[in-house]
Amino acid sequence: MNARRSFTANGPRVAIVTDYLNQRGGAEWVVAVFHTMFPDAPVFTPILDRNNLWPELEGADIHVSWMQRLPALKRHFRKYFLLYPLAVEGFDLSSYDLVLSSSCAYGKGARAGQHAVHVCYCHTPARFVWDYESYVGRVNLHPAEKALLPPLIQVMKRWDLKTADRPHVYVANSQVVARRIQAYYGRSAGVIPPPVSCGRFRISSSLEPYFLIVARLIPYKRIDIAVDAFNRLQLPLYIVGDGPDRQALEKRAGTTIKFLGYQPDHEVARLLSECQALVFPGLEDFGITMVEANASGRPVVAYRGGGALDIVMDGKTGTFFDEQTADALAEAVIRLKNTRWDARLIREHALGFDVSVFRARMMGVLSQATGWNFEAPTARRSI
């Protein structure tokens, strides 16, 4: 398809599509930034929890699917994974010139109109489909669920491949995701890192002795190896976040480790600015929290893989460890403690990921894909 075409004098009609809007994660944050770029564009999502929206989305025109009426949706939304493709495909997008999707699994499957352009910002091809063992294998499942899931995952994989060509353009959030898109879908993708609101973070004039983790407490985040490492080091570690692993991790933790649970954004910003370093033990497709720590002038201790390779400059903005073990992480923490860090250099590095940079780069991609000269409208809310 030749994507370069003319629109009406009033400009293209834009629709935003995403997997779901029931939590305040990185994919949902990208949707919020898309909304500030196109404040009149409706947002289509299979499910919605308004109590967990990013503030930037509170005034958005959000359309939900029939899935919104499913029982126990808030608690069991992941168990309905076979229904999301049907919900996304059911959205009527025929009157829009540009479909802009933010996808970790389902959004890329949206059906754009015959003459529309679909640009997909891909956080990753579905991890539970393509990396089943590492993503799901560590979850404590009932034996019946373990037996039933693999054939259902194969159903999802067939749909994922069938819909791989619906986007006309893919944009990946990191180099590792771009390589996955090429490997799984046979499609090339440019790379634009996710937007980070660097203006929310400041360099602190005083530091405290603690290290910090900010994460959902779920198995693939590998908080367990951080707990073991800091038990051995006997150094203070604060853990911000909640999740199904919290009780088990608290039992595993020694006296130097504190679980702070959910904290408001301003408190997370303070904790980041005053910590010795952010600890990032998991393998992530990007890892916005690492950039937020750098925007606060603080280094990162990260596993050498995934999106961390696009963020961390070893020895300048953080330090890597090469095996997801407590010993390897502990050695990296000791190296970090023995290194002098330049907070201003670290923050300068983070500014390259700022939301303003993301907007400008995405507008460039959209202009190239459509032939329309996009200029970012004034956002309804500043970020």
Q: Note the pLDDT tens digit of each residue in 302-319.
A: 999 999 999 999 999 999
Can you say how many angstroms the Cα of residue 2 is from the centroid of all Cα atoms in its chain?
Answer: 31
Residue 143: the pLDDT is 73
Q: Are 245 and 253 contacting, i.e. CB atoms less than 8 angstroms apart?
A: no
> Which of residues 6 and 71 earns the better pLDDT score?
71
Which of 169, 164, 257, 157 has the alpha carbon at shortest distance from 211? 257
Domain annotation covers residue 380: no
Sheet containing 117-122: give its strands across.
Answer: 62-64, 43-45, 14-18, 98-103, 117-122, 169-172, 190-191
122 & 84 share domain = yes
168 & 269 share domain = no
Task: Tell me the three state secondary structure of residue 259.
Answer: strand
292 & 222 share domain = yes
Domain annotation covers residue 135: yes
pLDDT tens digits along 282-308:
998 899 999 999 999 999 999 999 999
Question: 179-217 as b/e, with b when 16 or more CB fall inside 10 Å?
Answer: ebbeebbebebeebbbbbbbebbeebeeeeebbbbbbbb
Q: Are 173 and 307 contacting, i.e. CB atoms less than 8 angstroms apart?
A: yes
Q: Are 215 and 241 contacting, i.e. CB atoms less than 8 angstroms apart?
A: yes
DSSP β-bridge partners for residue 199: none
239 & 129 share domain = no
- The residue behind tokens 């707990």 is 227
Domain annotation covers residue 171: yes
Residue 381: the pLDDT is 31
246 & 348 share domain = yes
DSSP annotation of 221? G
217 & 132 share domain = no
Q: Where are the alpha helices (DSSP H) in the chain?
A: 26-37, 73-76, 84-89, 127-130, 132-136, 143-162, 175-185, 223-233, 246-252, 265-274, 288-295, 308-311, 326-337, 343-350, 355-370
174 & 238 share domain = no
Query: Which residues lie below 8 Å from residue 365, measured CB to CB, with a gap of 6+?
Result: 119, 169, 171, 190, 192
Indicate the pTM of the whole model.
0.85
Domain annotation covers residue 1: no
Instruction: Work out the average pLDDT over 156-175.
Output: 97
Residue 24: the pLDDT is 86
Residue 371: the pLDDT is 87
Domain annotation covers residue 335: yes
Q: From the CA atom positions of the chain, what is the Rg in Å? A: 21
Q: How far apart, in Å, are the Cα atoms of 248 and each of 15, 218, 230, 236, 279? A: 42, 11, 16, 19, 19
Domain interval for residue 154 = 14-195+354-370
287 & 176 share domain = no
Instruction: Work out the average pLDDT over 250-276.
Output: 97
Ordered DSSP codes for 179-205: HHHHHHH----EE-PPPB-GGG----S
Cα separation, 351 vs 4, whole angstroms: 32
Domain annotation covers residue 219: yes
118 & 133 share domain = yes
Residue 380: the pLDDT is 32
Domain annotation covers residue 140: yes
Residue 4, both tokens:
């370069």
Task: Tell me the three state secondary structure of residue 290.
Answer: helix
135 & 233 share domain = no
227 & 189 share domain = no
CATH of the domain at 173: 3.40.50.2000
Residue 267: the pLDDT is 97
187 & 45 share domain = yes
pLDDT tens digits along 46-73:
999 999 999 999 999 999 999 999 999 9
Among 6-10, 92-96, 272-276, which stretch is predicted with the lowest mean pLDDT? 6-10
Q: Are 11 and 38 contacting, i.e. CB atoms less than 8 angstroms apart?
A: no
Instruction: Give the chain's domain count.
Output: 2
Domain annotation covers residue 375: no
